C-alpha cells in the first residue's frame, strides 16, 4: 500500500512558534503566516508488516494541507502562501497532480483563505476556508456552487475578543490576514456524510463540536460534543473516526455517533499531546496515526501493539492519504 503525507511547514521558525505558544504561553499567531514556510509531500509505501514503512520520494510544494486522491483524476491538494499582512494577496489554491506526476489543474477563488481540508464531491470539491469560517463547494473553474457560513448559522463571535464577526462575501479575502483570534470556529475538516449524501459533516475546532449540516436547508445539528482540538472527520468501517488532537487520541463512533472506541495516539507520558490525523488500514486491523509533537507516524493494531516511523523534527504531518501502488511523483514541477 502506498500513501502520501503532507507537511504544511517544514522550517524551524514554525517549530519555534509552536514551542513558544504551547510551552511558554506566548501567542504570536500572526507570525506563523510570515516568511517562507517550506512544505513537503512524501510518498511512502507500507511493506505489509506492522509499522514497516519505506520512504519512496518527496516533493516540495509550498505549504500543502488537505488532500484527496481520486481514481482516474489524480491527487488534489491545497497549497500556496496565505496572506502574510493585510493588503498583500496570498495564493492559496487547489492543485491536481495527475498520474504522470504533472500539475494539470489549478483552482483559485477570492474566498480561499486559510484552507485546511479538501474532499472531492459529485459536483466539485468541498473545502474548509478557516479564515472566513466557511465551507465552500466549488467547481473546477473555482466558482462556488454551495456554501455554509458559520457566522450566519449560530457562530458569529470571534474567538479572540467575542466581538460579532461580519464578512463581505464580495471582497477578495486573499488580501486579508485572518489569524485564529479573528475566526469564530476554525472549521478545519469537512466531508459529505458517507452514509447520507444530503448532509455535510464539519468540525468546529473552537467549540469542540462535530455538526451535521443539511445541504438544502443549511440547518445544522450537533452530533458530537466535548472534543478537544479535533481534526479530520473520516469514514470508518464501524462508522466514523476523528482525531481528538489535544488529548492525543483517535475516537471511533458508530453510525449513530455513539463513541465506541478510543485509540491511544501518543506516549501517555508525553506532556504536550497532539494527534493530527489517523487512517484506518484497508484490512481494518490497524491504524496509521500522525503523532505530531513526537514527530512520529505510528501504526497501532487492534491489540495495542505498535511500531513507529519517525518523520524527523520539524516535520509535523497534517494529513495521510492513500494512493494506488502505481502512483508516483515522477515529472513533478511546480
Q: What is the CATH number of domain 2-323?
A: 2.120.10.30
Residues of the chain scoring pLDDT < 50: none
Query: What are the tens digits of pLDDT across the range 195-210?
Result: 999 999 999 999 999 9
* Chain centre to alpha carbon of residue 185: 15
Query: Position of cell 478545519?
Result: 188
pLDDT at 333: 62
pLDDT number for residue 240: 98
SS3 content of the chain, % helix, strand, coil (to 5): 10, 40, 50
- The answer to whether 133 touches 148, Cβ cutoff 8 Å, is no
- Residue 330, pLDDT score: 87
pTM for the model stands at: 0.94
- What integer pLDDT is reported at residue 27 of this predicted model? 55
Confidence at residue 30, expressed as pLDDT on a 0 to 100 scale = 53
What distance in Å separates the CA atoms of residue 266 and residue 271, rounded to the nearest whole number? 10
- Domain locations in the chain as residue ranges: 2-323
Predicted confidence at residue 198, as pLDDT, reads: 98
Write down the pLDDT at residue 11: 86
Amino acid at each position: 500500500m502506498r500513501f502520501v503525507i503532507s507537511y504544511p511547514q517544514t522550517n524551524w521558525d514554525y517549530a519555534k512558534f509552536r514551542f513558544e505558544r504551547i510551552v511558554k504561553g506566548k501567542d504570536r499567531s500572526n507570525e506563523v503566516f510570515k516568511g517562507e514556510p517550506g512544505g513537503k509531500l512524501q510518498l511512502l509505501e507500507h511493506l505489509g508488516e506492522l509499522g514497516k514503512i519505506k520512504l519512496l520520494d518527496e516533493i516540495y510544494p509550498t505549504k500543502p494541507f488537505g488532500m484527496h486522491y481520486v481514481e482516474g483524476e489524480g491527487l488534489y491538494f491545497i497549497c500556496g502562501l496565505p496572506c502574510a499582512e493585510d493588503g498583500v494577496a496570498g495564493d492559496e489554491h487547489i492543485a491536481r497532480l495527475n498520474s504522470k506526476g504533472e500539475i494539470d489543474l489549478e483552482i483559485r477563488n477570492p474566498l480561499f483563505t486559510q484552507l485546511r481540508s479538501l474532499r472531492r464531491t459529485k459536483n466539485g470539491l468541498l473545502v474548509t476556508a478557516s479564515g472566513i469560517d466557511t465551507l465552500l463547494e466549488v467547481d473546477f473553474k473555482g466558482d462556488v456552487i454551495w456554501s455554509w457560513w458559520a457566522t450566519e448559522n449560530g457562530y458569529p463571535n470571534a474567538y479572540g475578543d467575542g466581538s460579532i464577526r461580519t464578512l463581505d462575501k464580495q471582497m477578495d479575502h486573499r488580501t486579508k490576514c485572518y489569524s485564529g483570534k479573528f475566526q469564530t470556529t476554525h472549521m478545519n475538516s469537512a466531508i459529505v456524510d458517507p452514509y447520507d449524501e444530503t448532509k455535510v459533516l464539519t468540525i468546529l475546532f473552537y467549540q469542540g463540536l462535530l455538526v451535521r449540516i443539511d445541504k438544502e436547508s443549511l440547518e445544522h445539528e450537533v452530533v458530537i460534543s466535548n472534543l478537544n482540538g479535533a481534526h479530520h472527520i473520516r469514514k470508518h468501517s464501524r462508522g466514523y473516526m476523528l482525531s481528538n488532537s489535544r488529548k492525543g487520541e483517535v475516537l471511533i463512533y458508530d453510525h449513530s455517533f455513539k463513541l465506541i472506541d478510543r485509540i491511544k495516539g501518543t506516549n501517555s507520558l508525553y506532556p504536550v499531546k497532539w494527534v493530527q490525523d489517523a487512517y484506518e488500514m484497508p484490512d481494518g486491523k490497524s491504524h496509521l496515526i500522525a503523532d505530531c509533537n513526537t514527530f512520529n507516524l505510528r501504526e497501532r493494531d487492534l491489540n495495542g501493539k505498535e511500531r513507529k516511523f519517525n518523520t524527523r523534527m520539524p516535520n509535523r504531518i497534517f494529513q495521510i492519504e492513500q494512493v494506488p501502488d502505481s502512483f508516483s511523483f515522477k515529472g513533478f514541477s511546480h
